[in-house]
Structure formats: C-alpha cells, structure tokens
Structure 1
Amino acid sequence: MLNYELQTINYEYRMMKPFYYLSDFPERRNVGKNFVAECPKCGKKHLSISRETGLYHCFYAGCDFHGRLKDFWEERRDTVRSDAGHPYSAGASPAAKRSFGKGEPGGMASASVGGGNAAFEVSMIPEDYKRLSPEIISKIKPLTDEPETSDPEQLAARRYLADMGISLKTAVDARIGCLMHRCFGGKDGKSGKGEKDEKDEKNAVGMMYHCIAYVNYINGQPVNVKYRSCDVSASGYTKCWSQESPTTPCPPYNIDCINPLRIAEENVPRLIVTEGERDVLTLHEAGYPYVISVPNGAASDLSKGFEAFRPWLDRVRELVICGDCDLPGRTLVKHLADYFGTRCLFTVLPGGCKDISDVLVMYGAGVVREIIDSACPHHTSDIITVSERADEIMNVLSGNYDHGYDVGYGPLTDHVFHPTDQGGLIIATGKPNSGKTDFLNDLTCRLMAKTGRYVCYLSFEVPDKNKHMANLIRLMLGKVNTAAYTREQLQPIVSFLDGHMAHLDLHEVSPTPANIIERAERVKRAVPLKYLIIDPYLFMEVETGRYNTETQAIKAMLTQMQAWGRTNGIWVIIVAHPRSLKKLNGKNELEEIDMYTISGSANWANLADFIFSISRIEQPDRSYTRLDMLKVRDQDLCRTGSVLFVRQPCGRYDERESEEQIMTEMQGKVLDKDRLPWVGLTTP
C-alpha cells in the first residue's frame, strides 16, 4: 500500500513539473530525426520529441501531453522555425508577434491569411484544433477484426468496405469507426448540412443510417469526424453524409500522416492528395503511407484548410494530385496545382473511372500503383525535352526543315533576307524621308504576289487607305499611270489583294500592343496571316510612368510582339525611327545608323530577329537606295550585309551589284528591270 501511495505521489509530482529537460527522458529511443520516450502523463511510450526544435507530443489517444523542452528555451524567439507551430518565427511580422494570444480564441488575432492587413494576421497552427467531445467519441465504435462479431454496425461497415476493395486490416489500421447515425442526403448526396429539400422532406430532417466514421486526428487527437452511410439501396450504396468538427476550417483528412513528430525522415518524399476520404483508404490499400484528402471535397477552400499545416507540407518534395474526373474534380485539380506549384505530379485515370477508388474496384491494387507511380508533371510548352523533339531533330540533321523562301528581289537580297515561316520580330529603321514606308510597300507586294503570303497593315503614315491600296495595285502592275485600264482589267488585281491583305484602323481605340494584337488575332482567325506591318512605332502607346521607364516599356512591347509572332508563325515588322544623330567631328555628315541608334532603348537591338535600315543616297552621279541588314538572328540561311537598289517610277525596287553598275545605268546603259505585272493581266 505504501509503495502504491509513493508511486502515486511520484506520478503526481511529475505531473506538476512546470517544464522538462531532455535528461528527464534517459530511456529515449532514437528514431530518425525524433526521439520516442515514455510519456510522464499517461505512462505510455508514445511521446515523440523533435531533436531539432525540442517540441514534444504524446500520440496516445486521450493524453495530449505536449510542450517544448527547457533545453531549447535559450534559443532566441525570432530564430525559432515556423514549423514549430509558433508565431515567433523568422517570417512573422513584429505586429503579428505582438498580437499573438490576443483577440480570437486559441491565440488567433484576425487570422485571415492571404488577404487584409498582415499586421493583424496570425496563421493557425495544428494545436488550434479542438478535440472532439467525449460524447461524440463514445458513440463511435472502433472497427474490429473479430471474426465472430454479430454487431450490425460492424457487419454493415465490413460489407461496404469489402465491396469497395478495402481490406479489414487497412480499415482497422486507419482507425475507421462504425455506428448508426443521422445523415443528410440532399440532391445526389451532396448536401451534408440538412437544408430543407421541398422535393424530398426526408432530407430536411435526415435519416438514420448504418455509417462508417472517418475520424481525423491531429497530434494523435481526434479533431473531426465525417459519417458516410453504407446501407444498400436499389441503385447501390446510399450516398448520405454528415460531419462534426468543433473547429473550422476542417483539417485535411489524415494530415497527421506527415506530422514531423511521427515520421523518421527529414522530408516526405511523396504525398498523395485526393478528393475524398475513401480515396485515402484506397491508396492505403495499395501500399502508400502518405495520403491525405482535401477538407471538404471539390468545394474546399485550400488556403484555409491547409493554413495550419504549411510547415508540414513544406517538407514534402513531391505531391501527386489524384483528383476526380468530373468537372468539380478537374476544377479542384487546377486549384491544387495553383496552390502547390511546380512540386505537383498528376495522374491519368482509365476511362469509365471517376476516381482512384473506382480503379481499385474495377482493376485492383496493381493498376492503382501503376497509375500513381506513373504520375508526371503537366506538359508545358515552356519546357522542351530532346525526346519530345526527337523526330524533328532527325529531320534537321537530314536537311529536312524550313529552308525559307525568296522574297522576290533576287539573289543579292536573298543573301541578307531569307525568312522562314517561323515568325518573329523584324525592325526597319532609317532617317526620316529615307523611303522606309515606300520600300516596305514594294517588299510586301512582292511577298503577296510572288510567295502568296497574307499581309496586314497598321499604317499610321498612310491615313488614306484607298490611296495606299491603289498604290499597291500600281506596284502589282508595274505602272505609274493606270488611267488606261478598265474596271474589268483591274478587278483581278483588286480581288487578289482582297485575298491577301487587310488594313487595321484603330481610330476608336488606343494603339496599345494589346489592342493591336487583339485586332490582328481577328484577322488571323479569318485568313492565314504571315506579316503584320506596324508603321511607325512612334504612334504606338506603351505604358510608362514612375515605375516603368521608356526602356522597360519598349522591352515589354517588343517581347510581347515577338512572342505573339513566334507562337503564330507571323513576322511582325515595326518601323522605328532613330534617335537624334550626332555630327561627325565638325563635319556636316551625321553618324551612320546602326542597331543602337534606334530611339528609346537598346532592346530594339537585343530582341529583334532581323534589323535593317533604309538609306537614300542622292548624289550628282548616282542615286539609289541602300538596305543594310544590321542583324540576323538565325544565320543558317542569310547573313548581315548591304544591298543597293534603284527605284522605278512606279515604286518597284531593283537590286544592283555595285555603285559602278548604278553609275553606268545613269549614263544610259540598259539594265534589267522588273516591269511585268505580278498578277496575270494583259497590258493594253
């Protein structure tokens, strides 16, 4: 009797200790990054102690003995890790630390993480979840594996689990319960709150069903329970449910499986996230230990449901998102992907299977494992692997790829400008009145007539669209005066241009990059657009301001245009003027134009795929236009260099080999000129 009393006194003394040291647990067992020791409160060897943080917690049901070892109290509070479940973490604001323990119960002070004023926010921690009441726990019968049981709740639960492909051992290990309970079916079993359904009065008050109970634990303590009916109906099993949770939001089901105090690994290599509790059992049946389901199915608010467990989830290397195939399930998968980011892998279910539990019933655990083990990231065009492009690479090595096309001037021009149908960004520059727009008219007419490409103009320099189109018809004909042509003779060219070009007129909207692309998209949807001409950039509106300089705005615009062009196989040609050119050492001559003399930003040079300048040379013994190709990004088909052109009165440009050739031509030598119509007509 005396020994018993002494033991009682010693036990009570231990319970009265205000704090504990690691030395108070000399018989601790080393388990990975944690210790396991005997609990001073319940006497069971279920006390887990973190070697890193000094946090301890007893996982024996009903004990809930927890705290921090005095050995770790000497650490500065602002260096305590956030995964310790404490607001005094390195990432917490001073105001949040001051507000801890004030206001809301459980140490919450306006805890609305993700929005509002961060100075008054404190995230939930696992310890904020209250235990289920003893009254609730007492109603739930733990599922047993007794072979001779005659209990109707046990038998109903076993029958349901067997039909779902879940073994009794898996269910018992998951601490599934069973009972008779009132559940609410709602329409299609989707209402668990007992709202009144005028079509079915029974749903308004609920009915008593045989149920299985998914009891959820945090730190080994039951914190919420969801009841699922398991009675057989004419269409299978009933789909009614209800739940009890003293704390909101509900935590993810089985979240305790990644509790840092319960796992030996430093990090969880792979966690599977499902939509429902039954899916968790399915994956346990297939042999996966780390599985959770979202708190409230497809309707879950992830930021709230996962808030208290972010430090736990941060220890997970990969997350396999194993969602349902219906529309709510696919929506949840998208939200999970946005929430967890690049760590996510995704599953593909066989046809006819709504979820992974259907796979278990129809095909067995082997196929479930095959699906989970083959989970992979969503395909994205941002990441290109060699295997994805193996055939295309072999074609390039064999010489089978887009070798580009002649633009219609001749071999000299083809040597410096030989585009493909890849699309991208072309910059045309030159001094004012150097003939940039005039040359582009000729170039685009040749592209339409000789290569069949479709061109869209956004020409601020040519406000009269009728005159512009008429000028293009003269270029097609090679004539200055078209007065002698009848309407019938001109109609074929008008029809040809109607099938190969369009104009944009942005009088009603601002000429921002987004508005230009939006209208070019309309053209692209109707015709096979290959060239978009913006002449000039000066009239475009880009967003500048205190935090966005002209250089940054030009870079954003060029990047947007280039990306759109490459995505759609369209060349965007932008005419850009040079900055104010400097005089050369006291001479009247101005510096030469190059890639970096374009006004506004060096990004013109950095981002363009082609850059060429147009210069007009007017001298007594020679008169010509020079194209200087200043940049060629892909030099497989052409190179930088210069080409000389003479201009015909109709506006066509003919390439020439040298200044000497141009000089002899001006003295009367007859050289070849491109005079024939580009569309089949009979000249009167």
Structure 2
Amino acid sequence: MSASFSEQLIKEGFNLQSLRDGQQKVICPSCNHTRKKHKQEPCLSMLVDTQGAQWNCHHCNWTGSVWRDDSSQQVSFKQKPKFNGNVPTYPLSDEMLSWFINDRKITQEALDIAEICSADAFIGGKKQRAIAFLHKKDGQITNIKYRTVEKQFSQTSGGERLPYLWHLVDHSNEKLIIVEGELDALACLSAGIKNVISVPDGAGDKKMSYLEALHKEFKSFKQIVLFTDDDKQGIELREELARRLGKVRCWKVSLPSGHKDANDMLMQNGQVAVLDVIDNATPYPLKDLRETHDYVEDALRLLHNDVRTGLSTGIKAMDGSLDDGAGAYRVRAGELTLISGVPNGGKSELLDAIILGLAKNHAHRFAICSFENPVDEHINKLVAKLVGKPTWEVANGNKVRDDEWYPAVEFIQEHFYWIRSEDEPPTIEWCLNTATNAVQRYPNLRGLVLDPYNEFEHKRPAGYTETEYVSLMLASIKRWASTHGVHVWLVAHPTKLRRNMDGSFPTPTAQDISGSANFYNKCDNLLIVERDFTPNSLEVRVHVKKIRFRQSGKLGVIELKFDPNTGNYS
C-alpha cells in the first residue's frame, strides 16, 4: 500500500505541526542541520493545496513535490484559530451607562435591543474592563469590538467580519440603513429605526468582504440609505458601497453643516433630527434623468481647470513628450478604448502591459474576457511582465523561479478576474451582465477587457444592418462603462489587409476595422498598434488616432521598445 500524503511529507522531513494550507515559508529540513548561522530562518517556500505540496529552498536550492493520490487524503494543517464566542460579559458600569445616556444620548431601549454590555479586554497594553459591542449570527456571538469611554479600541482575534446588528435586520423590510460605526447604529436605534447596520471595520475597510459573504441577503432590499460620516473617508465609503450594491437602489444622506455623523446629529439635535435627515435622503441619479444640481460641483471644478486627468499606464512613453508629433494615452474611468492592428501585431500584449501597470500603480482590478490565450498561459504572460523574467525557456536560462512565481501569482489573483463562457457562445450582453456582478462583488474593479470583438457571438436583431447593430452594441458598452465607472478596452481586428510590395502590412486605419465605421465614431479613444516585423527589431508604434477628451491624451505616434523575453514595453 502506498504511503499517504502526510506520511510522504513526514518522510521528507517536514513537521506537520508547522504547516498550513496555502503559500508559506518554513525551515528547510534538508539544510537546516548544516547551517551555523540563522538556523531558525524559514528559507523554504512551500505551497500546499488540494493537489499536494511543492517546495523550493532559497538557501540550498532543494526542490521537490508530494502529491495526493486522491482527493480523500487530507491533512489538517494549522489554521488561524476562530473566535468561539466564549467570553464572560458583565453589565455596564455606572460610568459607562452615564456616558451612553448622558453624553452620547443613546436610549436605554437601544442599549437593551443591541445587548450592550462590558467585558475584559486587552486595550492600550493592559487588561481592562471595556464596553463590548456584540456581533451576532444565528444567535451566536461571532465577534466582539471593544472601546473604553476614553476612546481606546480593540476587538477579538479570529472573529467573523459581519456588519454590526446584522442579526436584528428584518429582511422582509425593503429598506435598510447603513452607517459607519456602532455608535451611529445605536443613534438610529434610539431614534426608532430598527433596520440599521454599521460596516464591520469602518471606512478603512477597502475589501468589504462582507458584501460578498452576504451577497444574496443584500439583494432583498429595494432601498438602501447610506448614512456615512461627512468626511473624506466617509464619502469614499459611501461611493464604494453605492457602486458595489447598485446605485439604482441607493440613497444618500446629506448632513447639515457642523455635523459629522448620525450620533453627532443625535447629540446636537435629537431623535427627530436623525429621522428627518434619513427621510430627506436623496436617491443617486437615475441613468437617464439628472437635475442641474447634480452637475454644479463638476461645472465649478471645470471652471477652475480642476479636470479629471487620466491615469498613467505605467509605460512612460505613453504619458507623452515634448515632441509635437508624439502621441499620448492615459486612462479615465467610464470611457471606451478601441485597440486594433494587424494580426500578431501585439494588441493584446500591449493591453496586458497597460492593465498590469494600472494594477501596480493604482491598485485597480480587472475583469478579463479574452479568447486570445488560455487562462493558464495568460497568467504566465502577466507573471513575466510583473517579475521581469520570462516564464518560458530561454537561451540564457534566466527563467522565473518558483519563489518569484508564487508572489506574482498572488498579486494577479488579487487584481484579475476571468470571465469565461463554458456552456454557450458568449455575447457582449452576457459579458456585461457578468462584469456587473464582478463590480458589485470585488472592490476597486475599474477595468473590463473584451478581446477580441470577432470571437463574440453577435445576435443582430432582424431588420438591422451591420452598421446599425455595431452602433447599438457600442452604445450599450459605453453606457455600461459610464454607469459603473469602469474603463472598457475592446480589441477589434481589421479587415483582411492587402500586403505592400515588400510583403509588409500597411498601417490599418479606423475605417479598416472589420464590421463598421461606427467603431471610430462611437469609441472615446482609438489606438492602432503597429509592430516592426523586421528581424530582431524591437520597435512598436502606437498610433493614437482618436482622443475624445484631451485629459485622456493627444493624437500622434507613441514610439515603444518591446522586450520579447518579458513582454514589457519602454
């Protein structure tokens, strides 16, 4: 009988108690006993997953792997301990109760509904009695956040990050109030508002993993009132919540001058004032109807030349130069960029470099619907660009090592999501619907790649010419981009071009794009990628043929150098 997975790991010298699922660094059993210095240094990189384990030591270069024979062979590795809810709680002290009722104007009824109590916690380097805000799920305590009257904070380790008071929410009620902190939620309870939650980790939480965990539950609410703090972080939180939950059902609260949040409103003006600002919340603008005041701030910024400039792609040459003939291209949210060029001219390669630069420099995330490469090959191409080494065999042997590959893949996993159609031919409409789900699920998803246009199935309505269909399709993409604040790149091949006398292809024009002249008319930006096919030439020219808004670049030619070993541009 063959050895089990765990027995094989033990045979290789690994201590199972030191291992866990996922990527990790551990002490190398091969070279640790020979080292005179740094014997406790974890120099071996190891990945453990459902298929098995792989490792590489950076000190002795020992590499190896052990595979599971079948999926039933599981090893229980160390996991971060989860909070079990077994914490002794006590009534509020007189000082705490007075602080809530007299200082913060929270009612006794609200304290009772939320089960506010006290508990012992380590805060400020010492163990002390503190106010305990109990986070519950299915009647069980899943997390506790602590604070002292003096505004010191702490929370349990390993607790589940769910919104505060989520266990009290009535899902048959179509209206939900979301506030920023526990005291704001208690202020709303004090004003008689029962369907209220506060975000679990304040405005600083960018991932908002609870939105994914409670994705189905949030769908039941038709009106979501966002009552965040009236400061920069609070406004950013409100805008991201609206983007992820869907602006069509989100309303926003505007606080009077001199008030910062719901609890501040309660303390200064009382319960009725809290109810009034919620009742006077305004809906996010509808897709097709705007009021003048919706544009006043933007118009004022434009008056003072405070325009929304596009973001750098991370390729310096694309930012523009003093050369009058040099083009420039920058990326602005809500726009559509069309990329074209001759076959094998590097359209997708350049696009990968652009979105990877935005991911690195601006933490943007992307949904990719690409039929040019299988996902595994696409990942390795991105790794090569990210690490600056090839992921394929080259003459000098300078291939990406495992210890370089794994961190790069972790970055890609954090910033790139793959739209794939396994069951039916993909359509543009299907892809946009899937991308909408991605925007709502993943924070800071700011880009969508459609590559290439001709691989999508196009269901042209009866009676429509191809030109009319393309116009309709591009208009739907642009509306989607504008609504969701996402930049869309569409790669489109030109029609079959006739070669020049020397065998080269002419540089395509906008009118050469297969399908319709509306590609040029409808897009915001148009890039034609031209590669020099002369042997050993690294030159690539990007012809910027259209820039609708000057903040996104200028017309002209961008001269680039392509590194075939890494896929990077300079």
Q: State the TM-score, normalizing by the size of structure 2.
A: 0.45
Q: State the TM-score, normalizing by the size of structure 1.
A: 0.38
Bigger radius of gyration, 1 or 2? Answer: 1
